Amino acid sequence: MSQDAVLREIKAVDSEHKKNLLSDGWRMHQLQKHLASKDHPYHKFSTGSWETLETKPKERGLDIRLELLKFYENYSANLMHLVVYVKESLDCIQSLVESLFSHVKNTDQRSFKCPSQPLSAEHLQLLVKAIPIIEGDYLKISWPVTPNIQFYKEGPCRYLSHLIGHEGEGSIFHIIKELGWAMDLVAGAGSDSNEYSFFSVGMRLTDAGHDHMEDIIGLVFKYIHLLKEDGIHEWIFDELASINETEFHYQDKVHPISYVTSTVSSMRLFPPEEWLVGESLPSKYAPNRINMILDELSPERVRILCESKKFEGSTNCAEPWYNTSYSIENVTPYMIKQWIQKAPTEKLYLPKPNIFVPKDLSLKEVPDKVTFPTILRKTPLSRLWYKPDMLFFTPKVYIIIDFHCPLSSHSPEAAVSTSLFVDLLVDYLNAYAYDAQIAGLFYSIYLTSTGFQVCVGGYNDKMRVLLHAIMKQIVNFVVKPNRFSALKETSVKDYQNFNFSQPYSQASYYLSLILEEKKWPLVEKLQALSKLESDSLAKFVPHLLSKTYLECYIQGNIEPGEAESIVQEIEDTIFNTPNSVFKPMSPSQYLVKRVIMLEKEIKCCYQIEGLNQKNENSSVVQYIQVHQDDALSNIKLELFSLISSQPAFNQLRTVEQLGYITYLSLRSDRGVWALEVVIQSTVKDPSYLDSRIDEFFKTFESKIHELSDKDFKRNVKSLIDSKLEKFKNLWEESGFYWGEIEAGTLKFDRVESEVALLRELKKEEFIEFFDEYIKVDAPQRRTVSVQVFSGNHSAEFKKAIAEADQPKTCRLTDIFGFKRSRPLHRSLKGGPGLITMD
């Protein structure tokens, strides 16, 4: 552990901390910790900084390297757990483990135990009002409770979080949502320790919700009172236990690294017979345990945190680490009693039995082995791609219905109207479809660049019930003015909050604005959204749906006949219903989005000040456009990324200490492949960062040219191995095939064909590709550098924009003028009737 390595790591930790200084998640978490017992570990600063790891230790005469070596003594074999997950036999694994881990010393250390709860009486019965960075009001009601881990077989917190966090009719959330007070609600217990835990109810409030904060808190306590009065219900516990058991039995395989980390964590908490189960299977109905937690959710033990910019000018304290402004008020049980009395009078009640709990988990018979997706059905209204599950043999299915609507994005007004239409659809479905999600049937409706998409995944038994409800909601869509107002308000704040996003996210946004045809700037979308009224949206939606084509994908435990009947039913529901606004789209109206073709041997540079000048971080994204989807070029670029990503990280982050966020990766935009290098930094300005990226590529040129045959073959083998890694679950496999359909590439045998090419690839071909497309002065190199300057680097920004362009560089000042001057890469999508399987 060299002194130099210690210093580099301190700088990396400090860079990470500076990245988080304006993050409300970190700020509010530390505020909660700050308002706890000072002698409890929970009270301490969460991460680290230059001040805590360098300045203060030196002031106290401490050598941080020696302190780290002392701390290392805690790593004793008696406190450590190990999971090894490999294909070999147990004897082979044992031999491997003994050879690799037998030298880990056992110094018989004691396991660290926290004192119990970090909150004493003085930290309870409080209302904390805090000022966030971003727009939006948030409310969090929490109580210290007995950790659920102590009663994992009974699962009392799971039972209560299910009810308090429910979103169906009769729930807390359903009532406050219908009143226009809240946009979401999350409830549950969480902890970093076996010794203490907190049960929290958190929600995002609307402006009206902020004004009714006391009523909302009163309603939460009113529901807790209902749970006490109504008693604990065994049928609810049994229903949850049944859902959990089905979920455990049919759990999807995950990546080995995720599996071993979750398992090793269980070993620390549970007895050996429970290591693979953990707390996922509560099986003991113990109403006394549930009542014990319920009693802890009392007015005497509550702490309330409300975040809002409306508190500006009325706070009198500041949290020391993030400088979050806040004030504290006492909240007595008597005050909460008054809030309960003036809470909404709408009837609260427990959820009814869940109709989506699967009963039929049998596997379907598939007569023909199907290797790749096939077009099963094609009409002027839709096309169906189908693939049965031939790998996982699980009673699940994945369905995508892609609504291709060419009128969805022809203007900023159309784009925000389509987005709000989708948001309202999800909002309307929530109360009904929430039970489906609990039962393992998930759905999403989200915006795409050419319309919107409905995805449904999970147990196939009740899939059609949910899918039919979604389609009926789309067909019968009306604009409800109260929900329109609430969602518009939230959406406006989300657009405004982009100003507070990380600078590297802002750089990535500008890059996409440069590259993508017909991408509307956020400022224009915000202007359009601010002017949008409910009657305008009501007129727009029939217009939007008057040109529609459905691209459908169904994969999983489903027979071909049923897949066809599902799409036929959807067609009948949306196109063939009397007075339907849906009309078929002609092939000539098929909308494709294309990517700008950059000029070879020219480096374009876009320099702009960060949207939040208080953020100390600047950022650069250097994008190198290489080729349009082609198997041979793909493998060469992937191989370069594999070889160069770790050295780039090492040089730019570890050695040069430019910033915590530093990476080199592959990127594909609508089938156009590229490399991108991202750095976010407080220590250097973006122009300097960009020059260091160039210098890395110049230095790395010799590494590529001097690559030994052995290293070349080793990297090729590593890439082949990663490509041949099997899909872990249905969603992963479906995602790959749908990605090919969505991009228009249709290379379902991509893995096999690219692996075959890799086996034949010569080192000389690879070097030739690097020299032609990637090295700094390559004849086919096409580059854009997007540079976002923070307030820290305002002088450097002024200097940079005043400088004359260097040879072979082009400064971008008008993104849209630049886009109009450039040709486009061809689209890989054929559209209806034009698709080929070549």
The strands making up 374-378's β-sheet, listed across from edge to edge, are: 374-378, 382-388, 549-556, 396-404, 451-459, 441-448
Give the pLDDT band (50/70/90) at residue 699. very high
Give the SS3 label for residue 81: coil
Q: Which residues contact 211 (CB under 8 A, 6 or more apart)?
A: none
Task: Map tokens 């917190």 to a residue.
Answer: 157
Residue 190 confidence (pLDDT): 87
User: Looking at the predicted structure, is the pLDDT value of residue 835 above 70?
Assistant: no
Residue 560 confidence (pLDDT): 94
Half-sphere exposure of residue 778: CA atoms within 13 angstroms, side-chain side: 22
The residue extents of the domains of the chain are: 1-35+41-73, 75-106, 121-342, 374-589, 595-825
User: Looking at the predicted structure, is the pLDDT value of residue 115 above 80?
Assistant: no
Question: What DSSP character marks residue 153?
Answer: T
Residue 837 confidence (pLDDT): 34
Give the SS3 label for residue 308: coil
Tokens for 780, please give them: 């086919």
User: Looking at the predicted structure, is the pLDDT value of residue 65 above 50?
Assistant: yes
Of 348, 112, 92, residue with least CA distance to 216: 348
- The structure's pTM equals 0.93
Contact 373, 553 (CB under 8 A): yes
> What share of the chain in percent tops pLDDT 90?
92
Contact 824, 515 (CB under 8 A): no
What is the DSSP secondary-structure string of 397-427?
A: EEEEEEEE-TTSSSSHHHHHHHHHHHHHHHH
The pLDDT mean for the chain works out to 94
The strands making up 197-205's β-sheet, listed across from edge to edge, are: 182-190, 197-205, 137-145, 303-307, 126-130, 325-330, 317-318
Residue 806 confidence (pLDDT): 86
- State the Cα–Cα distance between residues 159 and 644, nearest whole angstrom: 49
Residue 591 confidence (pLDDT): 81
Give the pLDDT band (50/70/90) at residue 832. low
> What share of the chain in percent tops pLDDT 70?
99
User: Looking at the predicted structure, is the pLDDT value of residue 769 above 80?
Assistant: yes
Within 10 A of 546 (CB to CB), how many other CB atoms are there?
Answer: 14
Assign 3-class secondary structure to 726-766. CCCCHHHHHHHHHHHHHHCCCCCCHHHHHHHHHHHCCHHHH
Q: Which residues contact 442 (CB under 8 A, 6 or more apart)?
A: 436, 456, 457, 458
Question: What DSSP character marks residue 352?
Answer: P
Tell whether domain 121-342 is in CATH 3.30.830.10.
yes
Residue 484 confidence (pLDDT): 97
Tokens for 710, please give them: 């052995």
Residue 27 confidence (pLDDT): 97
Residue 192 confidence (pLDDT): 65
Model pLDDT for residues 46-57, shown as the tens digit of each residue: 899 999 999 999
The class (CATH top level) of 374-589 is alpha beta
Average pLDDT rounded to a whole number, residues 140-147: 96
User: Looking at the predicted structure, is the pLDDT value of residue 833 above 50?
Assistant: no
Give the pLDDT band (50/70/90) at residue 838. very low
Model pLDDT for residues 482-491, shown as the tens digit of each residue: 999 999 999 9
Model pLDDT for residues 70-89, shown as the tens digit of each residue: 999 889 999 999 999 998 99
What CATH superfamily is the domain 595-825?
Metalloenzyme, LuxS/M16 peptidase-like (3.30.830.10)
Model pLDDT for residues 590-629, shown as the tens digit of each residue: 888 899 999 999 999 999 999 999 999 999 999 999 999 9
User: Looking at the predicted structure, is the pLDDT value of residue 750 above 80?
Assistant: yes
Average pLDDT rounded to a whole number, residues 112-124: 88
Give the SS3 label for residue 535: helix
Handedness of CA 784, 790, 792, 793 (dihedral sign): positive
Give the pLDDT band (50/70/90) at residue 286. very high
Give the pLDDT band (50/70/90) at residue 123. very high
Model pLDDT for residues 426-476, shown as the tens digit of each residue: 999 999 999 999 999 999 999 999 999 999 999 999 999 999 999 999 999
Question: Does 374-589 match 595-825 in CATH topology?
Answer: yes
Give the pLDDT band (50/70/90) at residue 191. confident
